[in-house]
């Protein structure tokens, strides 16, 4: 049975049609202001790539990809993307972007092996994927924090715009976002697991960026898994800390938990990728075309990430279930329980 959070007192602030109008308003507003804040240009992105190209994200390495054969191309194998993390960096080079410039696009993915279909997790994933070229001097923690603050500023702008249009939805985001390294979070809450640590720190500050996700911490565990060939989670940043990536969390009162809105980071350079491939025991990936391009420095240094579209809409409209802002497939048990609780799934 799904681990759903249900509140018998919950009533949506907006009707179904009002919700659909609000979703469009939020998406139009957010992408416009994100592009302005980070100097990004919208581009078109693929839904699928050739199998074995090295472009797709492997997530935790065990999830099945949706695959099919292209009949008119010698039945070549294609697979739906899990994310655009690698494709974006390649596109920056192919399209001729310069340092300080970047791109964003709509990313739509299908993750059939999602095992925790609940208030926040769906088989269907939609997000704004963005990527921006940086210089060698910008590959540091200070620059990462600068970009995080700009994104958080757009989040606050969007929340204020929603509150102005729908007065029943009051702003709750704090003025500033807090930064904490995953290693320090472990020290602060050594008896808690990663998700509970996120809950504690998000409730305490309202908004937080957890730095350094993917590497093994002092307890021998990862805060969360990350692929070895896009985010840099091994570069030393001082005070025994490693990693130039992280996640943006906000405290979400309707669910009484932390809500991850974005995963992002400075991408691997040649040395970081080789180091991380070796750590994960997948050094053979250097034979794939995407990895060869990076090793030959045919792709620029970059920073990038994804921002959940449905999660953002869910947060800004104070919805209790992500199915209220996206159309997906849900187990009949979830459909039934949501209907009984007055949660209108799209």
- Other C-beta atoms lying within 10 Å of the C-beta of residue 168: 8
- Active-site residue, 324 included: no
**CA 297, CA 273: separation in Å to the nearest integer?**
12
Binned at pLDDT 50, 70 and 90, residue 341 comes out as: confident
- Active-site residue, 229 included: no
Q: Which of 31, 83, 122, 127 is catalytic?
A: 127
Spatial CA neighbour of 100 closest among 129, 143, 142, 141: 143
Which one of 64-68, 80-84, 218-222 scores highest in mean pLDDT? 218-222
- Active-site residue, 260 included: yes
- Active-site residue, 21 included: no
Cα-flanking dihedrals φ and ψ of residue 229, to 5°? -120, 20
Q: Does residue 9 carry a pLDDT above 90?
A: no
Q: Which of 89, 111, 257, 267 is catalytic?
A: 111
Q: Which two tokens stand for residue 150?
A: 């700009």
Note the Cα 193 to chain centre separation in Å: 20
Domain ranges (residues) in the chain: 16-340
Answer CATH for 16-340 from 3.30.930.10, 2.170.190.11, 2.40.10.10, 3.50.50.60: 3.30.930.10
Q: What is the pLDDT of residue 307?
A: 95
Q: Does residue 336 carry a pLDDT above 80?
A: yes
- Can you tell me which residue has the tokens 């600068």? 146
Q: Which of 262, 263, 276, 326 is catalytic?
A: 263
Helix (H, G, I), strand (E, B) or coil at 226: coil
Q: Which residue has the higher pLDDT, 59 or 51?
A: 51
- Active-site residue, 247 included: yes
pTM: 0.92
Helix (H, G, I), strand (E, B) or coil at 302: strand
Q: Which residue has the higher pLDDT, 112 or 40?
A: 40
Cα-flanking dihedrals φ and ψ of residue 169, to 5°? -105, 100
Binned at pLDDT 50, 70 and 90, residue 68 comes out as: confident
**CA 98, CA 94: separation in Å to the nearest integer?**
11
- Active-site residue, 326 included: no
Q: Mean pLDDT check: name the lowest of 8-12, 153-157, 191-195, 223-227.
A: 8-12
């Amino acid at each position: 049975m799904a681990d759903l959070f249900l509140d018998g007192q919950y009533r949506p602030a907006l009707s179904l049609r009002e919700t659909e109008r609000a979703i469009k308003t939020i998406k139009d507003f957010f992408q416009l202001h994100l592009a302005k804040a980070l100097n990004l240009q919208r581009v078109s992105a693929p839904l699928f790539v050739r199998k074995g190209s090295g472009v797709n994200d492997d997530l935790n390495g065990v999830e099945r990809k949706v695959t099919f054969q292209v009949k008119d191309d010698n039945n070549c194998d294609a697979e739906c993307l899990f994310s655009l993390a690698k494709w974006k960096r390649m596109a920056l080079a192919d399209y001729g972007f310069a340092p300080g410039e970047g791109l964003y696009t709509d990313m739509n993915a299908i993750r059939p092996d999602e095992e925790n279909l609940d208030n926040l997790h769906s088989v269907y994933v939609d997000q704004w994927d963005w990527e921006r070229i940086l210089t060698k001097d910008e590959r540091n923690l200070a620059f990462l924090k600068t970009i995080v603050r700009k994104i958080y500023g757009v989040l606050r702008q969007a929340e204020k715009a929603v509150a102005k249009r729908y007065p029943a939805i009051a702003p709750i985001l704090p003025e500033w976002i807090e930064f904490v390294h995953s290693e320090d979070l472990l020290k602060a809450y050594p008896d808690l697991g990663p998700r509970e640590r996120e809950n504690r720190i998000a409730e305490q500050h309202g908004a937080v960026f957890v730095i350094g996700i993917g590497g093994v911490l002092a307890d021998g565990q990862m805060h969360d898994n990350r692929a070895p060939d896009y985010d840099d989670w091994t570069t030393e940043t001082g005070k025994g800390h490693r990693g130039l990536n992280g996640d943006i969390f906000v405290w979400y009162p309707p669910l009484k938990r932390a809500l991850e809105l974005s995963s992002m980071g400075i991408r691997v350079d040649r040395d970081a990728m080789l180091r991380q491939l070796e750590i994960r025991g997948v050094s053979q990936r250097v034979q794939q075309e995407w990895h060869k391009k990076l090793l030959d420095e045919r792709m620029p240094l970059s920073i990038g990430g994804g921002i959940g579209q449905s999660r953002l809409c869910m947060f800004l409209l104070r919805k209790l279930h992500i199915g209220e802002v996206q159309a997906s497939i849900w187990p009949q048990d979830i459909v039934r329980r949501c209907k009984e609780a007055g949660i209108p799934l799209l």
